[in-house]
């Protein structure tokens, strides 16, 4: 099965009222999609984040991400800055996968790292509390988030 068929089947199950949660086959499709992604972009203005993300991607045996360097400050004016940043990246680049990190919601809500496929569908994500709570450096927080987002779909370090 492909990710497309997996999504279509899940939609049908939901409409029929037979959906009873995620399956191992669906999880495998997400893992395979991420593993097979060659054009990965990270939209931001901070080179330290891309370095940490690429370090973790390498640990998982995944393709390196390209830095999609553009101003993302306007995303902070939206209700979901991290997701808005990812969608903007899809609008301005051709890629298989977007990894974006930003504020979860309102100021003080913490951070959200999202992994989206080329159609803007959320494959995985990870959260961090506000910096004043966790006290980690940006690099440490990003490393923990990208690792958690990959592990939550069953990917393992090589």
Percent of the chain with pLDDT over 70: 100
Q: What is the pLDDT of residues 53-105, one digit of tens each?
A: 999 999 999 999 999 998 888 999 999 999 999 999 999 999 999 999 999 99
Helix or strand run (H / E) with residue 154: none
User: What ranges do the domains of the chain cover?
Assistant: 1-36, 38-151
Would you say residue 46 has pLDDT above 90? no
What mean pLDDT, rounded, does the chain reach?
95
Question: 116-145 as b/e, with b when 16 or more CB fall inside 10 Å?
Answer: bbeeeeebbbbebeeeeeeeeeeeebbbbb
Q: What pTM does this model have?
A: 0.95
Identical fold between 1-36 and 38-151: no
CATH value of 38-151 in 3.40.50.720, 3.40.50.300, 3.40.1380.10, 3.40.50.10150: 3.40.50.10150
pLDDT of residue 134: 94
| Number of helices (H), then strands (E), in the chain | 6, 5
pLDDT of residue 136: 95
pLDDT of residue 71: 87
pLDDT of residue 14: 96
pLDDT of residue 1: 76
Q: What residues contact 138, with CB distance under 8 A and at least 6 apart?
A: 46, 48, 49
Whether 112 contacts 86, CB under 8 Å? no
43 CA to centre of own chain: 11
> Rounded to an integer, what distance in angstroms lies between the CA atom of residue 49 and that of residue 67?
9
Would you say residue 128 has pLDDT above 90? yes
Whether 43 contacts 85, CB under 8 Å? yes
pLDDT of residue 70: 86
> In CATH, what number does 1-36 get?
1.10.287
């Amino acid at each position: 099965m492909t990710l497309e068929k997996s999504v279509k089947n899940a939609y049908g199950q939901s409409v029929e009222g037979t959906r009873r949660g995620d399956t191992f086959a669906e999880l495998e499709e997400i893992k395979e999609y991420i593993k097979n992604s060659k054009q990965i972009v990270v939209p931001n203005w901070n080179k330290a984040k891309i370095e940490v993300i690429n370090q973790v991607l390498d640990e998982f045996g995944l393709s390196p991400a390209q830095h999609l360097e553009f101003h993302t400050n306007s995303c902070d004016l939206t209700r979901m800055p991290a997701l808005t940043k990812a969608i903007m990246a899809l609008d301005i680049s051709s890629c298989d996968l977007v990894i974006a990190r930003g504020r979860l919601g309102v100021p003080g809500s913490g951070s959200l790292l999202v992994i989206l496929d080329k159609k803007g569908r959320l494959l995985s994500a990870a959260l961090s509390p506000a910096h004043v709570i966790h006290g980690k450096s940006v690099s440490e927080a990003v490393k923990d988030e990208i690792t958690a987002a990959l592990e939550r779909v069953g990917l393992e370090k090589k």
